[in-house]
Amino acid sequence: MFNRFAVIIIFVPLAILLIALAVANRELVAFTLDPFNPGNPALTLTLPLFVMLFLALAIGILVGSFATWLRQGRYRKLARQRGVEAENLRQAIARTPSAGQGPTLPKPTA
């Protein structure tokens, strides 16, 4: 229920805003990688402005995701180690003859 609410409240207005941005910025703009010779056609890319904005947004999301993934590596490693330790403990408990039966009591004599 909350997921559907979040989609409606957050993503629908965001999609409308991005569509409006794309429609308003359809003019071609030049993006050059050569600051000393801006007219160099080999290092100039001409695209609509909204395409460049969306590319910048996508690249930012990818770089941020990669940085977060790298930063959380030690926590993933720790979780893997703890998972292996827990599995080893489960196997050790399963190998014992009185696993889950409690303490073994002597048989009564008649």
> SS3 sequence, 1-54?
CHHHHHHHHHHHHHHHHHHHHHHHCCCEEEEECCCCCCCCHHHEEEEEHHHHHH
* HEC sequence for 40-97: CHHHEEEEEHHHHHHHHHHHHHHHHHHHHHHHCHHHHHHHHHHHHHHHHHHHHHHHCC
Model confidence pLDDT, tens digit, residues 54-80: 999 999 999 999 999 999 999 999 988
- Tell me, what's the pLDDT at 110? 66
Neighbours of 62 (CB within 10 A): 10
Instruction: Judge if pTM exceeds 0.75.
Output: no
What percentage of the chain has pLDDT greater than the value 70?
91
Please give the Cα distance from 70 to 62 (Å, whole number). 12
Closest CA to 27 of 55, 64, 53, 61: 53
Residue ranges per structural domain of the chain: 2-95
